[in-house]
Amino acid sequence: MDEALVQVAIPRDLVDFLRVEPQTNSKAQAFTKAFLRNSTQQQSQLKVQSMLSHKAVILGYSRPKKDKSRRNSKKAKGLNARQKRAMKIFQIKPEHQRYELFLPLHELWRQYITDLCSGLKSTSSPQFIQQKLLKADFHGAIITVVRSKCPSYVGITGILVQEFKHVFKIITKEDKLKVIPKRNSVFAVEINGFVSHIYGSKFEQRASERSAKKFKVRGTIDL
Amino acid sequence: MSVDLDQTPRSLLVCDRSSFLNEKNRISSQVEQLHFNYKVSLLLPECSSAPSHLDAVFNSFNSFYLIRNMPIYELLDKHFLKTAVYQGSVYGVSYRTRIDEDNCVALMPNGHLSLSLDKDSFELLGVEGKPSRFNHRTTCRYVVCVDLTDSSMAPGGRGYQRLLTGLRSRLQLKTDFLLSHHPGGGASLQDLLSRYDWSEHRPDVSSHTLTDLSCPALQSCDLQSCDPHSLLEWIGAVDAHISCENSSSSFLSSLVCPEPKTTVSRALSVSVCGLLLPQDVHRLIQQIRYYLEQPRLESWVSLTVHGFVDSPVSWRGNEHGVLRGGENFYSLLIFHDQTYQLHLATGAHDTCPP
C-alpha cells in the first residue's frame, strides 16, 4: 500500500458519513509511535527471558478429555430411577386424585383422537379407527373393564391416568385411584359412539413401545 | 354310543332303611332337600284304580308357572323379593337350558340364587363365584351362589347393586323360567308374571294299569332280600314300560325282574310331571301310609321322585352336573308296617346325597 494513500486526509463527504474527525498530522504521528512502542517493547523482553530459561515439557500419553466437565454437569441435572422412586415423582398425590382434575386431559385426548382419525365421522370405517387407536396414546381416555378373570375388576370405569407396562391406573368418578392389571381383562374405550375393546393380555407394552410394535392378527383371543 | 361301555362313570347310591314310627327318621328332611322335582312316579301293586284320597292328592299338587324369556334380574326386583322370597319359599329353575352348555339358574326356597355359568358369562358378570367342582383340567364353568336374604343383598346394598347391574347391563341373561311358590301360590308371583309372557301349568298326571306284572317278592323291610341296584333297575323299567320278561342272556335286553319274584295280576302306575314341590311329595307320602294301613294283597308301594336333570343344584343346594345322565332321584319303598327303604341315587357329577 502506498504511504501517501495512508497519510491522505479523509475526504469531506466521508467525514460526514462516518462522523469521524481527521486528526492533525503531528497528533497521529505521536499516537502511532506510542502504540508501536507499547506493543513491541514487552515482546522483545519476554523473548529474551524465555530464550535464557529452560522450559520443561510434560509429555502426557493421552489428551485430557475436553467435555468431561460438561458431562458431569449434565448428569447432575437428572435423577436416577431410585431417586425418582424415592421422591414418588410418578405417584399422584392423594389431594390430586380428583376426577374433575383429569377431565381436561380427557378433552385433550378426545381432540387428539379426533385429529388422529381425521375427523372421526360416523361414516369412517371401524377397521381404520382401530388401526389408529392401536398405536395411539390412551392417557386421558375413559376406559371400562368389560370382562375379567377376576370378577371384582369388572365394571370399573374411569379416566386413564397412567399407563405402565402391565398396569393401567384409572381414576373413577368416586375419586378413587384404581390400579388394574392389563392381563386377563378386556377394556372398552368409547369415542364418539365407537366402542373398541382392548384385550389387555395383548396390550402389555408401554405406551411408547406400543407405537412401534406390530400387532398380529389372531383368530380368537381367550382371556 | 361310541363311548366305552364297559367303563361306566361313577354313580352314587345311598340306601336308608327306617320306619316312619321311628322318631329319628330323616325322611322329611331328605324329601325336602331335593328342591326341584321333575317327576313323581308311583307303583301300586294289586290295585286297579287309585283310591280317591290318593287321587285327591295328585290333583291338588301345586300349579306352577312358566315364564318365557324372563331376564334374570327380575328375580332381584324389590317387590318380588318382598312379596315372594322373604315370605315363604320360592322354587324357580331355568327351563330348556342345559347344565353342560348353557347358563342355568335356580332360585332355592331358602332364598339362595344359584347361577351356573360358562366361563365367558362369568367373566362378563363380575360377581364372585367358584369354579365348578366338575371341571376337567381347564376351568370352563363357574358357580355363583348368592343369598338373597343376606343383609348385603338387601335392595340398595352394594352387593345387590353389583349383581343387578351385572345382570342388567353386562350379562343380559334371559331364560325360560319355571316358578312356584309354596304357601302363596300364584298370588305372590302375580306382579312378576304380569310383566312377561307367562302360562300356568298343572302337574300332568298320567296313570295306567299293568296286568300280570312279575315283581320281586318284597315281604318286609329287609335289604338282604333284594339287591338295591337290580331293584331300582326293575322299578325304572316298569315306570318306563319296558318289558322285563327277558332271559338274562337275551341279546336285546337283559333287564329281568330280580329273584325271588311273584306275579301280581294287576298294578297301577301313576306318574306326575311338572315342577313339583317337596311339600306336595311329602303330603303324598302321608297319604300312601294311610293307604297302606288298610289290608291289601301286596303290602308295599314304591314311590320314585326324579329331580331335574339340568338343575344347577341337587340335594341341599349342592352343585349338580350332568356327565352322561345327570340323574338325581330317590326311590322310596313303603311297607305296610310303616317301615321304608329309601334309595337315593345320583350320577357321576354330583355330591353325595344326605
**B164-200 pLDDT tens trace:** 999 988 888 889 988 888 877 677 788 888 888 888 8
Nearest to B127 among A146, A149, A151 (CB): A151
In this predicted structure, what is the pLDDT of residue A143? 92
Q: What is the least distance, in Å, from the CA of B119 to any CA of chain A?
A: 9
Could you tell me if A115 and A32 lie in one domain? no
Measure the CA–CA gap between A31 and A78, rounded to whole angstroms: 57
Higher pLDDT, B295 or B205: B205
* Residue A209 CB coordination number (10 Å): 10
Could you tell me if A22 and A105 lie in one domain? no
Chain A residues with CB within 8 Å of chain B CB? 146-149, 151-155, 223
Do residues B273 and B204 make contact, with C-beta atoms less than 8 angstroms apart? yes
DSSP β-bridge partners for residue B331: B304, B343
A139 inside domain? yes
Query: Which residues numbered 136-175 in B keep a CB inside 8 Å of some CB on A?
Result: 162, 165-166, 170
Cα four-point dihedral sign A44, A48, A53, A58: positive
Predicted confidence (pLDDT) per residue in B53-103, tens digit:
888 888 888 888 898 888 988 888 888 888 888 887 888 899 888 888 889
Residue where one domain finishes, among candidates A17, A36, A52: A52
| Neighboring chain A residues of B122 at a CB cutoff of 8 Å | 151
The answer to whether the bond into A11 is cis (omega within 30° of 0) is: no
| Neighboring chain A residues of B123 at a CB cutoff of 8 Å | 147-149, 151, 154, 223
Q: What is the least distance, in Å, from the CA of A136 to any CA of chain B?
A: 26
CATH of the domain at A186: 2.30.30.210
Q: What is the separation of C-alpha B285 from the centre of its chain, rounded to a whole number of angstroms?
A: 15
In this predicted structure, what is the pLDDT of residue A145? 92
Put simply, the answer to whether A151 touches B128 (Cβ < 8 Å) is: yes
What is the band of A70 on the pLDDT scale with cuts at 50, 70, 90?
low
Span B111-140, average pLDDT? 87
Residue B118: its H or E element:
strand B112-118
Tell me which chain A residue has its CA closest to the CA of residue B170. Answer: A146
Could you tell me if A204 and A102 lie in one domain? yes
- Of B271, B275, B309, give the one whose Cα is nearest residue B202: B275
Measure the CA–CA gap between B7 and B26, rounded to whole angstroms: 34
Q: Does B187 touch chain A (CB under 8 A)?
A: no
In this predicted structure, what is the pLDDT of residue A144? 93
A188 inside domain? yes
Q: What is the largest CA-CA distance in chain B?
A: 66
In this predicted structure, what is the pLDDT of residue A170? 92
Could you tell me if A196 and A118 lie in one domain? yes
Could you tell me if A39 and A102 lie in one domain? no
What average pLDDT does chain B have? 84
| Neighboring chain B residues of A147 at a CB cutoff of 8 Å | 120, 123-124
Predicted confidence (pLDDT) per residue in B8-24, tens digit:
778 888 888 888 888 88
Predicted confidence (pLDDT) per residue in B314-351, tens digit:
888 888 888 777 788 889 888 888 888 888 888 888 88
Rounded to 5 degrees, what angle do the CA atoms A150, A155, A161 make?
Answer: 95
* Residue A206 CB coordination number (10 Å): 12
In this predicted structure, what is the pLDDT of residue B224? 60
Sequence-distant (≥ 6) Cβ neighbours of residue A84 within 8 angstroms:
A90
Put simply, the answer to whether B123 touches A153 (Cβ < 8 Å) is: no
Q: Does B128 touch chain A (CB under 8 A)?
A: yes
| Neighboring chain B residues of A201 at a CB cutoff of 8 Å | none
Put simply, the answer to whether B126 touches A149 (Cβ < 8 Å) is: no
Tell me which chain A residue has its CA closest to the CA of residue B130. Answer: A151
Could you tell me if A45 and A102 lie in one domain? no
| Neighboring chain B residues of A153 at a CB cutoff of 8 Å | 126
Q: What percent of chain B has pLDDT over 70?
A: 94
| Neighboring chain B residues of A152 at a CB cutoff of 8 Å | 126, 128
What are the distances in angstroms from CA B122 to CA B130, B131, B230, B318?
10, 10, 41, 19
Could you tell me if A48 and A102 lie in one domain? no
A68 inside domain? no
Put simply, the answer to whether A154 touches B122 (Cβ < 8 Å) is: no
Higher pLDDT, B220 or A99: A99
Span A22-32, average pLDDT? 81
In this predicted structure, what is the pLDDT of residue B1? 45
Tell me which chain B residue has its CA closest to the CA of residue A144. Answer: B170
Measure the CA–CA gap between B30 and B25, rounded to whole angstroms: 10
Put simply, the answer to whether B123 touches A223 (Cβ < 8 Å) is: yes
Could you tell me if A113 and A192 lie in one domain? yes
**For an interface test with A, which of B123, B140, B162, B167 has the most A Cβ atoms less than 10 Å from its Cβ?**
B123
Helical ranges in A59-161 per DSSP H:
68-77, 81-87, 103-116, 126-135
Q: Which of A42-51, A127-136, B133-142, B261-270 has the lowest mean pLDDT?
A: A42-51
User: Ranked by mean pLDDT, which of A139-143, A188-192, B130-134 comes out on top?
Assistant: A139-143
Predicted confidence (pLDDT) per residue in B218-273, tens digit:
766 555 667 788 888 888 888 888 777 776 676 777 777 777 778 888 888 889 89
Say how many CB pairs under 8 Å bridge A and B.
Answer: 30
Tally of structural domains, chain A: 2
- Of A89, A116, A104, A113, give the one whose Cα is nearest residue A171: A104
Question: What's the domain range around A205?
Answer: 98-210
Residue B307: its H or E element:
strand B300-307
Domains of chain B, by residue range, sit at 12-61+203-346, 64-201
Could you tell me if A28 and A103 lie in one domain? no
What is the band of A103 on the pLDDT scale with cuts at 50, 70, 90?
very high
Higher pLDDT, B248 or A91: A91
Put simply, the answer to whether B123 touches A152 (Cβ < 8 Å) is: no
Put simply, the answer to whether B128 touches A223 (Cβ < 8 Å) is: no
A143 inside domain? yes
Could you tell me if A111 and A179 lie in one domain? yes
Put simply, the answer to whether A155 touches B170 (Cβ < 8 Å) is: yes
| Neighboring chain A residues of B166 at a CB cutoff of 8 Å | 154-155
Q: What is the least distance, in Å, from the CA of B126 to any CA of chain A?
A: 4
0.80 surpassed by pTM: no
Measure the CA–CA gap between B104 and B117, rounded to whole angstroms: 7
A60 inside domain? no
